[in-house]
Amino acid sequence: MKYLYNIITIFVLIGFVSCRKDFDFETSSGTDLRFSRDTVYLDTIFTNIGSSTYTLKVYNSTNKDIKIPTLKLAKGENSNFRLMVDGVAGKVFNNVELLAKDSMFIFVETTVDIHSLSNQKEYLYTDQIQFTSGTNSQKVELVTLVKDAIFLYPQKFADGTKETLPLDGEEIEGFFLDENDPVNENELIWTDDKPYVIYGYAAVPPNKTLEIEAGAQIHFHDNSGLLVANNGNINAVGTIQNPIIFQGDRLEPSFENTPGQWGAIWLTVGSSGNFENAIIKNATIGLLINKNQGTVNLHNLQVYNASDFGILGRVGKIRGTNVVTNNCGQAGLGCTFGGNYHFIQSTFANYWNKPNQTSVVIDNYDGTPEFAIEQALFQNCIIYGSSSESLIMNKQGSNNNFNIKFDNSLIKFTDYSNQVFGNFPYDFNNSTYFSNCLIARTPQQYRPYFKNTNKNEMMITDKAVDIIGIGNLIFAQQVPFDLLGNSRLSSPDLGAYQNIPESQ
């Protein structure tokens, strides 16, 4: 009997619960809902490229369980936005239930073909999420900016494979730029008319020159980059007002300073190049120069947020003026496997937030003449960062294969234990190698007081009283204007910038 009584009790309870009114959903009145935002701004996207996913949180602010008769995009099935509501994808939803004092997430994405909407280079695409109940309605606005672009990518073949390029004995996904392309016409001239979005590695063919004009915006997808073949050339010349910018293709603000989003600009063996008034950011290696032909000239070049090296020379020949680096996983500048390097009025900083990084690395590989440092000359430069030693030099073999000279430059090198201080190539008191240099042996000594290292604003401020105005005028005359166009002929500072008031 006791067993039978328990069964009857359970059924009575089930019947009671099934009759409870708090499991009945009332129709939303049109004022019951609150939203985490009244407008969802999806960040800028390129035409036909999907956005990231954005979140809207919807709250039932009442003490009753409600049912939303219709939740939809105002443009319905024709909308270029997409929704995910309670795990279901769609654009129109009926009878969406929401418990009292509960909330739900709506996920929003979009892909827009700008050519179906406008002949403009940019188009502000909008819609609404509408929550309707009879004559009552609540809404959340949706907004995204769509940019037109020129897309460059390897050809895809019938068997599903893609076009490749030979590189160092391997094949990488890529293609040669074509001056008679049937779609893009001359791909060896890049202008500021539209942004360029590159998939795979775009390559400058042998004996051809890629001309990049002022204001051009180049965006690289993941595992993409730019190659210059043997006897090929790149000539990227911007202006101070309209620099050329190389960066990743993620346009969300959260990716603004994210390192390692794309591969590298790679000048392969026998190539040549010129970069002036350009910014390279968020790469794995910003600029890789490998046994180039002639000298690669860098002027007013900024390289930031490289997950490996900002500028990496391998048996390179580089002359740089007003060059700035910061926030690089290994080093801002690598002069490796020997080569010939000359930098004037440049700032090699590194405030990467992890250890085992530095600002400048110099090495001659195994010390043989093939890999000799023919010259590593730094004049009126700043070599500084968050690590203890901002200059790392690995010398092998004879000193004759390691020709270094630092003139009127600031170098941070603490070496608290004096393990290498005073020994070649770190004999900082030897004027043959270090002439009129400031060696910061503590974090407080000769601080440059950069404006904002987190934002890559590497101007020295007026707090840097120990280093203001101590640049050598003879070196400064070779680079009479700083990276911002300010004259340095009257009282030159070290580095790529003349100092600025701290308040600016």
134, 237: one domain:
no
Q: Given this model, what pLDDT does residue 503 score? A: 66
Let me know if residue 351 belongs to a domain. yes
- 6 occurs within a structural domain: no
79 and 203 co-located in one domain: no
User: Which segment of 4-8, 22-26, 159-163, 447-451 scores lowest on mean pLDDT?
Assistant: 4-8
How confident is the model at residue 19, as a pLDDT?
43
Q: State yes or no: pLDDT of 133 exceeds 90.
A: no
Say how far apart CA 310 and CA 288 lie, in whole Å. 8
The predicted model gives 407-420 an average pLDDT of 89
Q: Residue 119 falls within a domain, yes or no?
A: yes
Q: Are residues 471 and 456 part of one domain? A: yes
380 and 468 housed in the same domain: yes
Taking residue 94's Cβ as centre, other Cβ atoms within 10 Å add up to 11
Q: Are residues 235 and 264 in the same domain?
A: yes
Measured in degrees and rounded to the nearest 5, phi and psi for residue 201 equal -100, 120
Q: Which of 107, 125, 147 is the last residue of a domain?
A: 147
Give yes or no: residues 63 and 164 share one domain: no
Task: Assess if residue 241 is contained within a domain.
Answer: yes
In terms of domains, do 142 and 258 share one?
no
Q: Within a domain: residue 9?
A: no
Are 155 and 136 contained in the same domain? no
- The pLDDT value given to residue 455: 95
Please tell me whether residues 272 and 418 are part of one structural domain.
Answer: yes
10: enclosing H helix or E strand: helix 2-18
Judgement on whether residues 103 and 174 belong to the same structural domain of the protein: no
Q: Can you give the pLDDT at residue 504?
A: 64
**Residues 6+ away with beta carbon under 8 Å from 170:** none
Residue 301 reports pLDDT greater than 50: yes
Confidence of residue 347 (pLDDT cuts 50, 70, 90): very high
Model pLDDT, residue 12:
44
From the number of C-beta atoms within 10 Å of its C-beta (0-12, 13-18, 19+), residue 229 rates as: buried
Last residue of a domain, one of 116, 147, 178: 147
Over residues 124-149, mean pLDDT: 92
Is the predicted pLDDT of residue 11 greater than 80, yes or no? no
Domain membership of residue 500 (yes or no) is no
Q: How many domains in the chain? A: 2
488 has a pLDDT exceeding 80: yes
Query: Do 135 and 157 reside in the same domain of the chain?
Result: no
Q: Tell me what the mean pLDDT of segment 415-431 comes to.
A: 87
Q: Do the domain assignments include residue 490? A: no
Mean pLDDT of 201-215: 97
Q: What is the structure's pLDDT at 13? A: 45
Q: Can you give the pLDDT at residue 23?
A: 46
pLDDT band at 119 (very low <50, low <70, confident <90, very high): confident
Average pLDDT, the chain: 92
Residue 403 · residue 376 · CB < 8 Å: yes
Q: Are residues 108 and 157 both part of a single domain?
A: no
Q: What percent of the chain has pLDDT over 70?
A: 94
Give the E-state strand segments of 91-216 in sequence order.
Answer: 92-98, 103-110, 122-133, 136-147, 150-152, 164-167, 170-176, 189-190, 196-198, 201-204, 209-212
Range of the domain at 133: 23-147
Over residues 181-192, the pLDDT tens digits come to 999 999 999 999
Determine the average pLDDT of the residues in 270-294.
Answer: 97
Last residue of a domain, one of 113, 147, 181: 147
- Please check the confidence at residue 16 and state whether its pLDDT lies above 50: no
Q: Within a domain: residue 10?
A: no
Model confidence pLDDT, tens digit, residues 160-182: 888 999 887 788 999 999 999 99
Residues 368-400 pLDDT 10s: 999 999 999 999 999 999 999 999 999 999 999
- CB-based contacts of 20: which residues, under 8 Å, 6+ apart? none
